């Protein structure tokens, strides 16, 4: 199975390198970091306004969650990405959600909403050309994180099925190909 480094390599080969976007964010990091309250509020107002996502949270958990989201956002806009940063995105940000049974169909729209909230703010605060460059940088990095989250979810489930059935991941993947060819979930 792939490691998070393999997944990042795939991401950069297909979507483009991360380093130039990291340089852009580094130049604006001080200003962007100040939007952490705004981002956390937009994020949790949305998740708490939809019952299926709101019901994931424990009583009184919101304040703690807002702090972790703010810390995550500040780190993302810092543009400083070392191995620990990507390891954290995969093994903590990604897998802590798998451990709370939060599916990709919640995670990926949540990232899309983060990107949209950022876009609204960047358009308000910067002239259009500068805003477009900053947004492209933020989108690229958060797309890379979303890719790690989605892949981590799939590989965790693959490991779970493999461990519990004794089937190898390759055999499970082959079986998934067969099910997909049959048209999984197709009407009739």
Crossing angle of helices 128-165 and 62-78, in 10° steps, is 120
Nearer to ligand HEM, 111 or 172 (CB): 111
Q: Which residue has the tokens 């461990």?
A: 163
Contact 40, 70 (CB under 8 A): yes
Using CB under 6 A as the binding criterion, the count of chain residues that bind ligand HEM stands at 18
Question: Cα(122)–Cα(144) distance, rounded to whole angstroms?
Answer: 20
State yes or no: residue 110 binds ligand HEM (CB under 6 A): yes
Distant-in-sequence, close-in-space partners of 10: CB < 8 Å, separation ≥ 6: 2, 147
Q: Identify residues 78-107 at the interface with ligand HEM (CB under 6 A).
A: 92-93, 96-97, 100, 102, 106-107
- With H, G, I as helix, E, B as strand and everything else as coil, classify residue 79: coil
- Nearest residue to 117 (alpha-carbon basis) of 70, 56, 152: 70
Please, which residue, 84 or 129, has the CB nearer to ligand HEM? 84
Tell me the per-residue interface mask from 39 to 78 with ligand HEM, x by CB under 6 A, - otherwise.
Answer: --------x-----x--xx-------x--xx--x------
Q: Which is nearer to ligand HEM, 64 or 173 (CB)?
A: 64
- CA pair distance 12, 147, nearest whole angstrom: 11
How far apart are CB 122 and ligand HEM at their closest, in Å?
18
Pick the closer one to ligand HEM by CB: 58 or 181: 58
CB-wise, 29 or 113, nearer to ligand HEM? Answer: 113
Phi then psi for 109, rounded to 5 degrees? -65, -30
**Contact set with ligand HEM (CB under 6 A):** 47, 53, 56-57, 65, 68-69, 72, 92-93, 96-97, 100, 102, 106-107, 110-111
């Amino acid at each position: 199975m792939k490691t998070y480094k393999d997944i990042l390599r795939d991401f950069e080969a297909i979507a483009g390198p991360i380093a130039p976007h990291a340089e852009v964010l580094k130049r604006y990091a001080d200003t962007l970091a100040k939007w952490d309250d705004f981002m956390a509020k937009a994020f949790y107002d949305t998740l708490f306004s939809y019952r299926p996502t709101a019901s994931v949270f424990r009583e009184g958990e919101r304040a703690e969650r807002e702090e972790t989201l703010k810390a995550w956002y500040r780190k993302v806009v810092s543009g400083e990405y070392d191995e620990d940063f990507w390891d954290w995105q995969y093994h903590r940000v990604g897998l802590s959600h798998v451990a709370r049974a939060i599916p990709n169909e919640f995670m990926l729209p949540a990232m899309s909403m983060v990107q949209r909230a950022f876009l609204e703010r960047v358009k308000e605060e910067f002239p259009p050309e500068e805003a477009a460059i900053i947004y492209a940088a933020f989108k690229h990095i958060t797309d890379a994180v979303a890719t790690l989250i989605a892949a981590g979810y799939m590989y965790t489930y693959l490991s779970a099925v493999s461990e519990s059935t004794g089937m190898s991941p390759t055999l499970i993947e082959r079986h998934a190909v067969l099910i997909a060819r049959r048209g999984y979930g197709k009407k009739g």
